[in-house]
């Protein structure tokens, strides 16, 4: 069965400093992996996705993530945090069994950005 | 492109009433839509998968008679919470996948906050 673990429930950074949100996955075969962001009382917005192409994936708003099969990791990074990045971030793995992509969500990481 | 809307965005109802939530794909056709539930400060949990023209597939532990799902067209799925109770209060989010793309990205709606008094 597929699963995903977000290693930090809360991350706090200062504006202008790097962001690292950690995610490890478990999959019996080559997974599809996603990062979504959710601002308070809003729906989810796709930041980026990995689907067995390039292992370094660039997303929107300066975010990127690197797929490391040997470490079963898909950490999300950004070189310089902005106040508007404060939100909840979800690492997601796609369970492609049965012919459709059922998404399995991590518990989420709340990112706080301080001035 | 790939915009998903939900209506209403917020609803408050009395215990025992039924509430219908609509999920629409505005600029694409979606043969498959998904319904999620999110409790405060928690992650999203898949409730059911809605397929156009067929019965929905419910996840284990989700009561299909309580959460009625209808996917009558390629752009609309509805979730009806029947005889709602306070424990049904939650944030309900739908997503839609582009028709014909089994491995395609899911696009999420903005969510509906249900409060049952």
Give, for all 117 residues of chain B, the pLDDT tens digit.
678 999 999 999 999 999 999 999 998 888 889 999 988 878 889 999 988 888 899 999 999 999 999 988 889 999 999 999 999 999 999 999 876 655 567 889 999 999 999
Whether A66 shows a pLDDT value over 90: the answer reads yes
Spatial contact of B74 and B30, defined as CB atoms under 8 Å apart: yes
Say whether residue A101 is in contact with chain B using an 8 A CB cutoff. yes
- What pairing do the DSSP bridges indicate for beta strands A10-14 and A109-114? parallel
Sort out which chain B residues have CB atoms less than 8 A from A44's CB and list them.
Answer: 44, 93, 95, 108
Q: Is B42 on the interface with A (CB under 8 A)?
A: yes
Report the C-alpha gap between B15 and B65 in whole angstroms: 17
A70-101 pLDDT, tens per residue?
A: 999 999 999 999 999 999 999 999 876 555 56
**Looking at the DSSP assignment, which residues form a beta bridge with residue B73?**
B76
pLDDT of residue A30: 75
Mutation target to probe the A interface, by most A beta carbons within 10 A, among B54, B97, B103 is B103
Min Cα–Cα distance to chain B from A48, Å: 10
Quote the tokens at residue B30.
Answer: 């979606």
Q: Where are the beta strands (DSSP E) in B1-102?
A: 4-7, 10-13, 19-25, 32-38, 44-51, 57-58, 67-73, 76-81, 90-97
Nearest CA in chain B to A99: B102
Report the candidate in B44, B32, B38 with the shortest Cα–Cα distance to residue B98: B32
Given an 8 Å threshold on Cβ–Cβ distance, is A105 in contact with B45?
Answer: yes
A17 touches chain B (CB under 8 A): no
- In percent, how much of chain A has pLDDT > 90? 67
The verdict on A109 touching B (C-beta cutoff 8 Å) is: no
* Rounded Cα gap, residues A18 and A85, in angstroms: 12
Look at residue B60 in the predicted model and tell me its pLDDT. Answer: 92
Give, in degrees to the nearest 5, the angle at Cα B108 between B80 and A77. 145
Residue A95 has a pLDDT of 72
Q: B104: helix, coil or strand?
A: coil
Question: For the residues A103-110, what does the mean pLDDT come to?
Answer: 92
């Amino acid at each position: 069965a597929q699963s995903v673990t977000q290693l930090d429930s809360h991350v706090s950074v200062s504006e202008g400093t790097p962001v690292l949100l950690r995610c490890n996955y478990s999959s019996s075969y080559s997974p599809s992996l996603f990062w979504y962001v959710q601002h308070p009382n809003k729906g989810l917005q796709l930041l980026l996705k990995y689907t067995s192409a390039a292992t370094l994936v660039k997303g929107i708003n300066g975010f990127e993530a690197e797929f490391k099969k040997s470490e079963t990791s898909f950490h999300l990074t950004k070189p310089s945090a902005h106040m508007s990045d404060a939100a909840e971030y979800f690492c997601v793995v796609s369970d492609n069994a049965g012919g459709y992509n059922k998404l399995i969500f991590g518990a989420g990481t709340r990112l706080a950005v301080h001035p | 492109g790939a915009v998903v809307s939900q209506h209403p965005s917020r609803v408050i109802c009395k215990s025992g009433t039924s509430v219908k939530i609509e999920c629409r794909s505005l600029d694409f056709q979606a043969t498959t839509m998904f319904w999620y539930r999110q409790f405060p400060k928690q992650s999203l949990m898949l409730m059911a998968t809605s397929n156009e023209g067929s019965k929905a597939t419910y996840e284990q532990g989700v009561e299909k008679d309580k959460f009625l799902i209808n996917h009558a067209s390629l752009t609309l799925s509805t979730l009806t919470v029947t005889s709602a109770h306070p424990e049904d209060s939650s944030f309900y989010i739908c997503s839609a996948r582009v028709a014909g793309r089994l491995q395609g990205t899911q696009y999420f709606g903005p969510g509906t906050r249900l409060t049952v008094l």
